[in-house]
Amino acid sequence: MSRMSGKVALITGAGSGMGRVHAVRLAQEGADIIALDLAEDALAETAARVRAQGRHIFTAIADVRDLVATTAAADAGVAELGRLDTVVANAGVTENVGSSWTIDEDLWERSIAVNLTGVWHTVRAGVAALSVAGGSVIIISSTAGLGAAPGAAHYSAAKHAVVGLARTLARELGERSIRVNTVHPGAVDTAMTLNPTTFARLRPDLSDPRAEDIVDVLAARHLLPVPWVESVDVSNAVLFLASDEARYITGTQLVVDAGSTEKRAS
C-alpha cells in the first residue's frame, strides 16, 4: 500500500495507545514518522514497530505543554527526514472526576495545558515546515468535543475548544493548501477507556469489575452493536484525512464512535 508514499507525518503522544497505532498505520501506507512522547521506552517500541514496516522514524522526548521543546523536536525530525506533510496532534489526557464545580484547579489546568494548549503548540511547531505543496493537520478531539461529558468538564471544554481552533486554522491555512480537520473518537480499546477507574464507574454494583463487565453498558450507548471501536478504526480515519483522497476536505469533524453521538442526540 502506498497512500502515504514519500510523505512524513509528525505524531504527538506516539509512544502508546492511539498514537502508536496512528504511527504504524501511516507507516504501513508508506509514511516516515516523527514520533513525540514523554515515555522513552514506549517510543522505542513504537520505533521498532514502524521500522518493521520498512519505514524511517525519528523519535524525541517532548512535552507538548512546552513550546520550545516541542518545536525543537519537530525541527530536528524534519531536518533528519527531510520534509513534513502531516501533523497529527494526538497527545491527550483525561480523568473522570465528578461535577464541574468540584474539579481540582491543578487538574483543570493540566487538562487545558495538554489537550488544548498542547495542540496549539504542536500545530505551531509543525505548520511552518509543512510541504510547499500543502499538507494536512489532524487534531484528535473526542465525542466529548461535540457534546456534554458529565464528570469530565475539564476534558470536554478542551476538546470543544480544539474544534474552534481547527476551524480557524482551516480558514487561515487554506490559501497554503493546508487542510485542517478534527477526528472524534468515542470509546476506544485503549487504556483511556479500558482501565479500573472506568470499570468501577460504569459498574459500581461490582466489587472488582473487568473489561468484560462493561461490554453491555457501553454497547447500549451505540447504534452499532459493539462496546467500543478499535484503535485502528480511528487510525484509518487519520490516514484518510492525511491522504490525497481527502484533498478537498477541510474544516470538518470526522466522528468515529459506533453511533454514540447520534444516539445521544435522538
Active-site residue set: 155
All three cell numbers of 32: 516516515
Name the region of 17 (left: φ>0; alpha: ψ -120 to 50; beta: rest).
left
Contact, 139 vs 117, CB < 8 A?
no
Say how many CA atoms lie within 13 Å of 180 toward its Cβ: 25
CA dihedral 183, 184, 187, 191 (to 10 degrees): 50
Contact, 159 vs 115, CB < 8 A?
yes
All three cell numbers of 105: 484547579
68-79 burial by CB neighbour count: b if 16+ within 10 A, else e?
Answer: ebbbebbbebbe
Please state, in angstroms and rounded to a whole number, the distance separating the CA atoms of residues 84 and 88. Answer: 11
Please state, in angstroms and rounded to a whole number, the distance separating the CA atoms of residues 59 and 48. Answer: 11
Residue 199's H or E segment, with its range, is: helix 196-202
